[in-house]
A and B are shown apart, each in its own frame.
Chain A
Amino acid sequence: MTHTTTDEGTALLLEPSALPARTRLLKTLLRSRELSVAIVLLIVVAAAAIKSPDFVVSSDGWRDLLLTPTILLLLAAGQTVVIITRNVDLSVGSILGLSAWLTGELFMAHPGLPPVLAFVIGSAAGAGLGLINGVVVAYGKVPALVITLGTQYIFRGIVLTWAGSSLISASQMPDRFLKLGTAQIFTIPVLFIIAMVIVVAVGYYLQTARSGRELYAVGSDPEAAVLYGLPVNRRVVGAFILSGALAGLAGVVFAARYGTVNSSAGTGIEFQAVAAAVVGGVAIFGGSGTAWGAAIGAGLLMTINSALPMVGISDFWQQALVGALIIAAIVLDRVLAARQARKLIEARDES
């Protein structure tokens, strides 16, 4: 089996070890979906900045550019982990709402509560709800789509019951906490830093931990995962717990950022989270994709929303553009995957 690397593309697929380490890394990076989405994101930002430099240059513009996607960033990273296992979590919007309300109630009851503790409690509450989703999906052997659709109704119903028609406003939460909503370190908002640290950690975990890699295996072929002796149910439950925890955290971030919470916080955001993951290169049927890609996807979706009016497109058309973007992303994925599969099969003729 002598293999002369004629076609560079196939070489990267079939004989990556034959390439020098640096070339390999570079080529993998250049072909990665993360990079292409990031480039689109940069183009969007640049286009908006040319029209209106304030979009990036002014201190508020810069802060909002980073702050606006923060919540979706967290949700998309959590959603990625679930989608990688070939499931989906439609209840994240309701979990966010519950956690945001919980945060408000906590501060009303204990105004002296350290903000850190609010983040911990919010995430823990989200993790608990994620645990419910995960256990029912994994051990009930029922499709995640249906279960999380059901729990979406249930969790939202709980927030509604709890919150009723009231609203927790900024004046009812301590300033220490609300300041976090806009606090900056070296001009970078604290909430954004928190979200980025978490996204990077989740991405790193998925790449370098055994259990992280097992999530990919479970989604790539669930039956094979059982034959391998992988703890499939535990991994699925774990994925839902992580997604729930991040949604819970996003709820606390929501409370800090917007300063006002009512029972409808986070309504409908679950589709955006799924869309961000899909745009960021996460395959909807599991097995591939990164949390980083999803985060960039989230950044792109949210930034497009605020950039469109700058480039003169009425914001009524934003959603249409987002939809077109999602479809373009999955069509592109399919085309690339089909090309790769074909190359791999044809390469068998030559070997």
Chain B
Amino acid sequence: GKADTGTSSDGESGGSGDKPLSIVFLPKNLGNPYFDASDAGGKKAVEALGGTFSEVGPQTASPDAQVQYINTAAQQHASAIVLSANDPKAVGSALTQAKSSGTKIVTFDSDTEAQYRDLFVNQASPEGIAKAQVDGLAEQIGDSGEIAILSASANATNQNAWIDLMKKDLQADHPDIKLVDTVYGNDDDQTSFDKTAALLKNHPNLKGIISPTTVGIAAAARYLSTSKSKGKVALTGLGTPNQMRKFVEDGTVTEFYLWNPTDLGTLAAYAAAALANGEITGKEGDKFTAGDLGDYTVGADNTVLLGDPTGFNKDNIGDFDF
């Protein structure tokens, strides 16, 4: 409010109807096929609604670079920002400022702290995601032995939440599986690749790896497929079918999981539009329609849930293209 004394102040916040709909998608970084897919879904949805869609983002997945794009969107009085946050807190003050100049904030994929956004579009419940991966791996390695996790950056909210839940699942349901190491590939292909190599060297008895990040699992699969551990060390996690197809077909990977990122982007776009035109405010119980995806209801903590993750394996991977 305070800073917003510029020439183009449009008075009413929330922009009711007559202001053209403009939605900015801000992924963690550019050059990430996962976000390409989700942003494509977002684009289609926004255009279907007759609004303007734009995708901006930093080169590397760092919060400070993201802040500048949040600021720009706020300056332009965008109707809504759809963001996958690189840090739950660091983008907070920028988001607060954007909100105060009338822009709605929707997070997807990776959330910020709740007070900074209007709505979080959750790809799957964290519990569901963690459980799918842990149970999947347990089945592949015969429910015992050493496993490790290859994560993205050490501060990624979603990753850390899942890892915590996985640890709980392991303790509760798989007492014979021992988590020996958690390493971070920073969602960088080369780093993830080298970390996988290091993992296998450091833990000769390793039986499985979980990589709950699309960059990580692809890099790890590529390393495994050329190493003598291929077929001996199981790998699962979250990945996109196009990236993983080759490794599923050659037997490096048996099964991996993901929700449909295009659907996630679509849902986020519809939620953002609904917020922007005042249809919903983001409080628990609000209802809106997300095009072909159907009707959704806002749940606790201002969260909308997309659904359960899908498992991809030899049998069904041919049906997907993203």
- Chain A interfacial positions (CB closer than 8 Å to B): 52, 54-55, 58-61, 64, 68, 160, 163-167, 169-171, 181-182, 254, 258-260, 262-265, 267, 305-306, 309-310, 315
| Residues of chain B at interface, number, CB under 8 A | 34
Task: Determine the distance from Cα of A65 to Cα of B60 in the docked complex, in whole angstroms.
Answer: 28
Known A68-B194, A165-B35; judge A258-B222 contact (CB<8 A).
yes
User: Contact partner of A60 among B27, B35, B202, B228, CB < 8 A?
Assistant: B228
Chain A binding surface SS class? loop
Cβ of B72 < 8 Å from any Cβ of A? no
Task: Determine the distance from Cα of A64 to Cα of B229 in the docked complex, in whole angstroms.
Answer: 13
Known A60-B229, A181-B226, A258-B193; judge A163-B31 contact (CB<8 A).
yes
Task: Determine the distance from Cα of A181 to Cα of B223 in the docked complex, in whole angstroms.
Answer: 10
In contact, B218 and A64 (Cβ under 8 angstroms): no
In contact, A260 and B194 (Cβ under 8 angstroms): no
Task: Determine the distance from Cα of A128 to Cα of B264 in the docked complex, in whole angstroms.
Answer: 44
A–B complex contacts, Cβ < 8 Å, 30 sampled: A52-B201, A52-B202, A54-B201, A58-B204, A58-B228, A60-B227, A160-B30, A163-B31, A165-B32, A166-B31, A167-B31, A169-B218, A169-B242, A169-B243, A171-B243, A171-B246, A182-B226, A258-B189, A258-B193, A258-B219, A259-B222, A262-B32, A264-B31, A264-B59, A264-B60, A267-B60, A306-B198, A310-B202, A315-B183, A315-B198
CB distance from B233 to the nearest CB of A (A): 11
Over the window 185-203 of chain B, the binary record of Cβ atoms lying under 8 Å from chain A Cβ atoms (1 yes, 0 no) is 0001110011001101110
- Chain B interfacial positions (CB closer than 8 Å to A): 27, 30-33, 35-36, 55, 57, 59-60, 183, 188-190, 193-194, 197-198, 200-202, 204, 218-219, 222, 226-229, 242-243, 245-246
Tally the A-B contacts, defined by beta carbons under 8 Å. 87
CB contacts (< 8 Å) of B57 on chain A: these are: 165
Of chain B, the residue at the smallest CB distance from A259 is B222
Chain B binding surface SS class? helix
Task: Determine the distance from Cα of A235 to Cα of B227 in the docked complex, in whole angstroms.
Answer: 44
Task: Determine the distance from Cα of A254 to Cα of B188 in the docked complex, in whole angstroms.
Answer: 14
In contact, B218 and A263 (Cβ under 8 angstroms): no
In contact, A263 and B30 (Cβ under 8 angstroms): yes
Task: Determine the distance from Cα of A160 to Cα of B226 in the docked complex, in whole angstroms.
Answer: 29
Of chain A, the residue at the smallest CB distance from B194 is A68
6 other A-B residue contacts (CB within 8 Å) besides A52-B204, A166-B31, A169-B33: A165-B32, A169-B242, A170-B222, A262-B189, A264-B60, A306-B197
CB contacts (< 8 Å) of A58 on chain B: these are: 201, 204, 228
CB contacts (< 8 Å) of B245 on chain A: these are: 171
Known A60-B201, A264-B60, A306-B198; judge A165-B36 contact (CB<8 A).
yes
CB contacts (< 8 Å) of A263 on chain B: these are: 30-31, 59
CB contacts (< 8 Å) of A164 on chain B: these are: 30-31
User: Contact partner of B197 among A64, A163, A181, A259, CB < 8 A?
Assistant: A64
In contact, A61 and B190 (Cβ under 8 angstroms): no
User: Contact partner of B219 among A181, A254, A260, A267, CB < 8 A?
Assistant: A260
CB contacts (< 8 Å) of A262 on chain B: these are: 31-32, 189
Of chain A, the residue at the smallest CB distance from B35 is A165
In contact, B202 and A167 (Cβ under 8 angstroms): no
CB contacts (< 8 Å) of B227 on chain A: these are: 60
Task: Determine the distance from Cα of A249 to Cα of B194 in the docked complex, in whole angstroms.
Answer: 20
Task: Determine the distance from Cα of A55 to Cα of B198 in the docked complex, in whole angstroms.
Answer: 9
CB contacts (< 8 Å) of A260 on chain B: these are: 189, 218-219, 222
Task: Determine the distance from Cα of A310 to Cα of B229 in the docked complex, in whole angstroms.
Answer: 19
Instruction: Find the residue from B55, B193, B194, B201 having the highest chain A CB count within 10 A.
Output: B201
CB contacts (< 8 Å) of B60 on chain A: these are: 264, 267
CB distance from A93 to the nearest CB of B (A): 12
Of chain A, the residue at the smallest CB distance from B57 is A165
CB contacts (< 8 Å) of B219 on chain A: these are: 258, 260
